Amino acid sequence: MSSSASATSRLSVMSMAASLPSVGGYSSAPSSIYAKRNTTNILERHLNKTRGAEVSVNAFAFLFSEMLQYTQKRVNGIQDLERKLNELGYRVGIRALDLLVWREKNSKRETRVLGMLYFIHTTVWKAMFGKQADSLEKSTENEDEYMISDNDPMVSKFISIPKDVSQLNCGAFMAGIVEAIMDGCQFPSRVTAHTVPIDGFPLRTTILIKLDREVLEREEQLK
């Protein structure tokens, strides 16, 4: 008796699935079910398939500039623009984090601030931009601030900033990536980008990471 009950329940599920396309009235809905079947194998796609893959830096520069232009039209103010760039970078960062951590095959996850920052400074930068970041510093004024600098950030290389928006820093995109990675590893913080030119490197960008209080408290306890 139980088998017949399960058989009927199975039958009702099947009929529900079959009736779904007609409820919506879309003629293309059946293809969406086919598409689902075809595209569920995304989970079987090997993550290392595109590991060493490269595209030209121009392609990225064009894409980034379009992204900037699109965002510029929809915001008012530099702060807003930087926030939107940060958001766009955030989406990149969460996904990049998953990939990088999986590829590193390092069984221990970072729990200390310094270890975390070192991870960003070396592994993340190397994977995303092809080289390690140029410096990692701790701020002398505030306990909770750290700085990662890049002498020649790829994202800003092809962007020329007009004088009236000279405060803008396209490194906000990189800051978003870093913020997502920090958040993802349980180090909530506020991350911003600042241009700090020095001799020979006019585009030098510093990513300022301001850790939340809870991180500092945790760090104290771990000492």
Asked if 53 touches other proteins (CB under 8 A), the answer is: yes
Out of 62, 138, 139, 196, which residue is the one contacting other proteins (CB under 8 A)?
A: 62
Residue 95 token pair: 């996904």
Closest CA to 205 of 91, 118, 98, 125: 125
Residue 70 token pair: 């699109």
Strand ranges across the sheet with 205-211? 135-138, 145-150, 205-211, 189-195
Shortest separation between residue 210's beta carbon and other proteins, angstroms: 23
Contact 137, 147 (CB under 8 A): yes
Nearer to other proteins (CB atom), residue 113 or residue 179:
179
| In the block, residue with structure tokens 């095959």 | 105
Cα distances (Å, whole numbers) of residue 103 to 49, 88, 97, 100: 12, 23, 10, 5
Out of 1, 59, 198, 222, which residue is the one contacting other proteins (CB under 8 A)?
A: 59
| In the block, residue with structure tokens 């408290």 | 217
Shortest separation between residue 169's beta carbon and other proteins, angstroms: 17
Asked if 54 touches other proteins (CB under 8 A), the answer is: yes
Query: Looking only at residues 142 through 161 of this chain, which bind other proteins when binding is defined by CB under 8 A?
Result: 154
3-class SS of residue 135? strand
Nearer to other proteins (CB atom), residue 1 or residue 59:
59
Out of 2, 3, 4, 38, which residue is the one contacting other proteins (CB under 8 A)?
A: 38
Asked if 64 touches other proteins (CB under 8 A), the answer is: yes
Residue 194 CB-density burial (10 A; 0-12 exposed, 13-18 middle, 19+ buried): middle
> What character string, x for contact with other proteins (CB under 8 A) and - otherwise, covers 78-107?
------x--xxx-xx--xx--x--------
Nearer to other proteins (CB atom), residue 62 or residue 142:
62
Number of residues that bind other proteins (CB under 8 A): 50
Q: What is the CA radius of gyration of the chain?
A: 23
Residues that bind other proteins (CB under 8 A): 24, 26, 28-29, 31-32, 34-39, 42, 45, 47, 49-51, 53-60, 62-67, 69-71, 74, 84, 87-89, 91-92, 95-96, 99, 127-130, 154
